[in-house]
Amino acid sequence: MNLEEISALQERLAHLERALGDVSDVVARQDKDIARLTHRLEMLMQREAEREYASGGSVPVADRPPPHW
């Protein structure tokens, strides 16, 4: 293997390492976003269940079995 081939491989490796770092950053950000959105969804579901219970419903919609049809 000559110096030009080694240099080309090193350059390609550097680009791949940078791309991997970029993808890793995106995945980490998406993980935080998913965790935040999951928490918000749980809060909204709990509020709605409390609202249904306060309005006279005996069983929140989320806990009711689906219709038979």
List the chain pLDDT tens, one digit each, 69 residues: 899 999 999 999 999 999 999 999 999 999 999 999 999 999 999 998 888 888 876 665 666 677 777
Domain locations in the chain?
22-53
- What pLDDT shows up at residue 57? 64
Report if pTM > 0.75: no
What amino acid occupies position 12? R
pLDDT at 15: 98
Q: Is the Cα torsion angle 42, 44, 50, 52 positive or negative in sign?
A: negative
Find out whether 34 and 41 touch, Cβ atoms under 8 Å.
no
C-beta atoms surrounding 49 within 10 Å: 16
- Asked if residue 15 lies in contact with residue 26, where contact means CB atoms within 8 angstroms, the answer is no
Look at residue 66 and give its three-state secondary structure.
coil
